[in-house]
Amino acid sequence: MKELIATVKSNNLIAENIYEITLTLPESVGYIRGGQFLNLAVGDKVHLLKRPLGIVKVEENDVTVCYQLKGEGTHIISEKKVGDKLSVLLPLGNGFVIPENVKNVAVIGGGVGVFPLISVLREHAGKINFNSYIGFRNKNAVCLLDELEKSNFLTVVTDDGSVGKKGNAVSAYFEDKNKVKPDLIIACGPPIMLKVLKQKLIESGDKTPCLVSLEERMGCGIGACLVCVCKTTSGGNTRVCKDGPVFDINEVEL
Amino acid sequence: MANLSVELCGVKFKNPVIAASGTYGFGREFDEIYDISKIGGLSTKGLTLEPRLGNPVPRIAEGPSVILNAVGLQNPGVEHFIKYDLPWLKEKGTVIIANVAGRTLEDYEGICNRLNGLVDMVELNISCPNVRAGGMALGIRPENIEEVTQITKKQLTKTPLIVKLSPNVESIATNAKAAERGGADCISLINTLTGMVIDIEKRKPIIANNTGGVSGAGIKPIAVRMVYEASHAVNIPVIGMGGIMTGEDAIEFMMAGATAVQVGTANFYDVNAMPKIINQMDEWLNKHGIKSVKEIIKTATLNG
């Protein structure tokens, strides 16, 4: 884990309100696992918190993340030009640790939750069979299809049916699951999506191991400040930034 | 190299830069980034007698040059700290300040009794605005400050007591004097100011607790003014904090009257903030031909 001054290599709008930024790091930070994240500074002295963003791509010392325009901070980042410098802290969190014997993975992603899943597809491409179920709001929100197509099988759905079938990623997976029979499910998306996924797995008695990546407003990003906690099913708290963001779906309250 | 060492209540600090409570955990996470023996001291995450889970999330929000937090004293409890964190911290060669809080006077008495002689200093959090039943009430009125100071000081026969003052009060000078009368060996200030940020789309505060403690660069002028007023009202040493981001900021607090400073929010802005601040202080002193940082303490004078 290092804090470095990165150089903006590209920063482009790729879907409605969604930008993709590639940062060139001045040095290697070692291996980055799929599902890990970085903390990106806004680059001024007004916004003191870094923005936690799931890593999408790593190519040598170039790291790519995507972000949705939300407030002032992301708007300022979206105005960064090629060659601008931004402070970045990475890699953070545990990422998706996929056991060696797992060969067939179902990927369930919704909205901006798709981004960290792409780094997993890239990390294990050719070694694991990926069946991906990806939901977007509508056709304007669809992005990174070239990356998602690294899956062995890809189903894209939208809330309004403007691309693919009308529906959501969780339902799309459940329609297919008896055919796919995954060894593992990995998922990232809005809280309601993960909650429904957990409910459906429980209701259908599906014991397939399932890892979910969570999002929370963060402070330090390294586990010191206890801002971004999530309740565990055993009655305690766990730190999303340090102990997660990836958890066994049965170990966290969603 | 200027001499950065300072002494507070007989405790020697290699430099005056201390990690502020709640931003630095017990030091383990920052020690993965740099050797924490570099920093002058560490005020731990606020400890209570029993473990606490804290507030619901979101616990953080941002404003211009400030952040707001409402963690609500999540901590593993003092026994866990003594067993697992303290032995590790003792190997690190930095001053260990246990920050403590409680719901009742008995809680404060009990935790100070337990920590007496085990840590270098105890810092009393009587101003954390986040736990409804606890801190805030004790930190506002001078008579309550004096009482909690007296009770805890009685327990701390071997360990110097720092009383951390809240800025959400009528007179900081009056409250500083109350801590001194109660027997405090030192005061630290300022704790966070109470604030609120509203999400205008949802028409609700961002922080689940509604209000949070405001910290960061934006509160610095308020903090400097209060450190000046408090340090000129008492004869015990003062630890200054509130928005310190650079070595120059730390120098400003020391000139206002602080013998040492604490750095909190800057640790989020830049994980290497504390080592950088220490280096910047050294550079500033060298540039000005000042041999020891002690020479600048309480040297700012008001305009005639």
d(CA B304, CA A101): 78
Q: What pLDDT is stored for residue B134 in this prediction? A: 47
Of the residues A56, A72, A92, which one is the last residue of a structural domain? A92
A87 and A128 within one domain:
no
Please determine, for residue B129, whether its predicted confidence score (pLDDT) is greater than 80: no
Distances from the Cα of A99 to the Cα of A225, B56, B72, B192, angstroms: 30, 33, 37, 45
Q: Which residues pair with A121 in a beta bridge?
A: none
Per-residue pLDDT tens for A78-89?
A: 999 999 999 999
A42 and A6 within one domain:
yes
Q: Which of A105, A166, A109 is nearest to A135 (CA)?
A: A109
The yes-or-no answer on residue B186 being catalytic is: no
| Preceding omega of A26 cis (within 30 degrees of 0) | no
B217 in reach of chain A (CB within 8 A): yes
Please determine, for residue B130, whether its predicted confidence score (pLDDT) is greater than 70: no
Residues of chain B with C-beta less than 8 angstroms from the C-beta of A229: 54, 57, 59, 74
Q: What pLDDT is stored for residue B104 in this prediction? A: 85
B270 in reach of chain A (CB within 8 A): yes
Q: Which domain holds residue A44?
A: 2-92
1-20 of A, contacting B, C-beta below 8 A: 1-3
Of the residues A92, A112, A128, which one is the last residue of a structural domain? A92
Per-residue pLDDT tens for B8-19?
A: 999 999 999 999
A147 and A86 within one domain:
no
Distance to chain A for B67, nearest Cα, Å: 7
Question: Helix (H, G, I), strand (E, B), or coil: what is residue B167?
Answer: coil
Q: Which band of pLDDT confidence, cut at 50, 70 and 90, is reported for residue B131?
A: very low
Q: Which two tokens stand for residue A105?
A: 């993975």
Q: What pLDDT is stored for residue B138 in this prediction? A: 85
Contact B289, B37 (CB under 8 A): no
Residue A52 lies in a domain: yes
Distance to chain A for B71, nearest Cα, Å: 6
Of chain A, the percentage scoring pLDDT greater than 70 comes to: 100
d(CA A197, CA A181): 16
A216 in reach of chain B (CB within 8 A): yes
Per-residue pLDDT tens for A186-240?
A: 999 999 999 999 999 999 999 999 999 999 999 999 999 999 999 999 999 999 9
pTM: 0.96
Residue A225 lies in a domain: no
A122 and A67 within one domain:
no
Q: What pLDDT is stored for residue B127 in this prediction? A: 74
Of the residues A92, A114, A130, which one is the last residue of a structural domain? A92
Taking residues A58-70, what's their average pLDDT?
A: 96
Residue A18 belongs to domain with CATH number: 2.40.30.10
| Region class of A220: left (phi > 0), else alpha (psi between -120 and 50), else beta | alpha
d(CA B61, CA B70): 9
Q: Which band of pLDDT confidence, cut at 50, 70 and 90, is reported for residue A142?
A: very high
Burial classification of residue A190, based on how many CB atoms lie within 10 Å of its CB (0-12 exposed, 13-18 middle, 19 or more buried): middle
Say which amino acid occupies A183.
Answer: D
A119 and A85 within one domain:
no
Residues, chain B: 304
d(CA B167, CA B140): 9
Distances from the Cα of B240 to the Cα of B10, B57, B125, B178, angstroms: 18, 29, 15, 18
Residue A121 belongs to domain with CATH number: 3.40.50.80
Give me the total of CB pairs closer than 8 Å, taking one residue from chain A and one from chain B: 99
Cite the DSSP H helix spans in A125-182.
145-148, 169-180
Residue of chain B nearest A242, judged by CA positions: B29
Q: How many domains, chain A? A: 2
Residue A78 lies in a domain: yes
